[in-house]
Amino acid sequence: MSKPHQSLSASIYVGDLSPDVTEGLLFEIFNSVGPVVSIRVCRDTITRRSLGYAYVNFHSIVDAERALDTLNNTLIKDKPCRIMWVQRDPSIRKSGVGNIFIKNLDTSIGHKELFDTFSIFGNILSCKVVMDENGNSKGYGFVHFESAESAENAVRTVNDKMLRSKKVYVGKFVPKREFIKQKEASWTNVYVKDLDLSVTEEQLRKEFAEQACGGDASAITSCVIMRDNSTNSKGFGFVNFSKHEFALKAVEKLHNATINGKTIWCGRAQKFAERQQELKKKYAQLKMQRISKFQGINLYIKNLEDEITEERLDKEFSAFGTIHSCKIMLDDHGNSRGFGFVCYTAPEEAQRAITEMNSRVLQGCNKPLYVALHEPAEIRKQKLAQRNASRTKLRPGSVPNASPSMYGGGPGQPVYYPGNVPSGYGYPPQAMLPRRGWPQAQPQPQFQQMPYSVIPNMQGRGGRGGRGGNSIVSGRGNRVNNRRNNAGQPTQAQMQDPSIIHAAAAPILPELTLQQLLTIPEEQQKVALGELLYPLVEKIRPNLCGKITGMFLDSGWTIEELFSLLHNESKLNEKVEQAVNVLQRVQTPPDQLEAGAQQPTDQ
């Protein structure tokens, strides 16, 4: 019977699961062995698709032990699962102690057969046969023993022995990085291409022996030219030497040399997967160079009308600098997809275009433009993943302060709790969840926070602009006079009335600099900016201040752009009027616009 490694944890890892396996299905399977505390199927933070493994936590270590012995390699959704003990200490896995590698396995050998073969040498922590996308064995696998002695005994006993129909190789596991380094430092096989079709193996062997090992042909262990079914040369082949020094010298001497009037190419022979890896690295480097080349000068523009052409777009944006390229994306039928790109020669020109053209309505158009710096797909995915991760931490039903050792995963991850949950595993009370809003140094009384889009007009009644005597927060973050009793505090009756918004409970916004604003959490930055922008907009358009402030915050502008409105009155007036024009276009029927009817100034 398998034993947990140096731990009394009742948690097990269940791998090789189908994507459609859910927590409920796993509960039905594992609860038959013993009472289950919690189950978590690990999922991608963006797509929420299953990653193919889960953690199951039992009340008793005996139940977890029984599950590993009885349910390992059982079929779940027509696919055998792989169960092992959860290793809390990652150093055990990364050290490689007790881990062995087996290759040249018969394709009929799976996890169970490999486990049964090597379990006689000692306690196995994990056992795996590597499979392809179709669930077929790739012919190699790994076995991780609890002790190094068991691994050494397995290597001595099974290496070069027959398993089923094949003689297997069993050796100490070497991490991939170290294996590649060892291979690069001791390679002996040379790949030759661009050969003339008339070159023979004898000629190739003689040429390489003279250049690499002083004419000693015995230093070449093999020489082959690849041929088709008609025995015609394919123009490439391999030359293998007995020593790494000979192979290295052959590449140095014969790379770009001429044989039979044709220049050949020589290099270290690589497997297909290794070549693919190198090509991916080169492609990634070229992509990063391209991204850095256009960083800060390439603009992304959307909400383009169908009538906008590249010539019109170039004309509208050329006032802000020299345009390197201008492109509107088209569909398969040649119609505009509503977005495009404008690339400048300097970052200052691009920033000027963003400031002036973002939210501007072009002549003859109905929709305001969205203009921002173009972000590559990789950066957008990274930001989206960070945003989803922050939302996951505050998702209702998650446990913000959960310990990874309790659930087999990170804090804040959703966990399936079956039936009657024991004490300590339930959801936290709502009052214990972190509140969103302005960060406070010390606990404050609760207050009601109204969204900007539904803030009522409070002019003449102590509104947020600071005109009355019952304001909550002034426009510049200063405390204003509140109705209080003689002690300067709300009366006891007022404090007991939940319908009253107490002025003393409102947070006080300090005078912020841009540097201070950027230090607070991202989801709270716009909350703070909204509190400061609202009274300024109210002075310009008191009846539309809520809508306009909401439009500013949802416009996609950067924090720096929003912050600049606080200190640039002319720019603020311009953006407010643009927002009013957009609201008028949206709320006025098309027939009135065509007839030239007088449009309302406020709604």
Question: Given this model, what pLDDT does residue 54 score?
Answer: 94
Q: Which of 75-79, 277-281, 286-290 is predicted with the least confidence, judged by mean pLDDT?
A: 286-290
CB 264 within 8 A of CB 254: yes
For residues 109 and 100, give the distance between their C-alpha atoms in angstroms, rounded to a whole number.
Answer: 17
Distance CA 353, CA 360 (A): 11
Which two tokens mark 408?
A: 């087999």
Q: Is the pLDDT of residue 509 over 50?
A: no
Question: What's the predicted TM-score (pTM) here?
Answer: 0.42
Q: Residue 578 pLDDT more than 60?
A: yes
**Four-residue CA torsion sign, 370, 372, 377, 379:** negative
Tell how far CA 82 is from the center of its chain.
Answer: 26
Please name the residues in contact with 242: beta carbons below 8 A apart, sequence gap of 6 or more: 188, 218, 219, 220, 221
**Cα separation, 233 vs 259, whole angstroms:** 15
For residues 29-52, give the mean pLDDT.
89
Cβ neighbours of residue 295 closer than 8 Å, sequence gap 6 or more = none
Q: How would residue 58 be classed by pLDDT, with cut points 50, 70 and 90?
A: very high
Structure tokens given for 305: 């009308």
Q: What is the DSSP string of 425-454?
A: -SPPPGGGSPPPSS--SS---------GGG
Mean pLDDT of 343-364: 90
Cβ atoms 100, 66 nearer than 8 A: no
pLDDT digits (tens, 9 = 90+) for 425-454: 333 333 333 333 334 434 433 333 333 333
Query: What domains lie within the chain, and their CATH numbers?
Result: 11-175 (3.30.70.330), 188-268 (3.30.70.330), 295-373 (3.30.70.330), 382-432 (no CATH), 452-482+493-586 (1.10.1900.10)
Residue 580 has pLDDT above 90, yes or no: no
Q: Which residue has the higher pLDDT, 454 or 30?
A: 30
Name the residue among 107, 274, 88, 104 with its Cα closest to residue 176. 274
CA distance 51 to 114: 24
Residue type, 53: Y
DSSP state letters, 147-174: SHHHHHHHHHHHTT-EETTEE-EEEE--
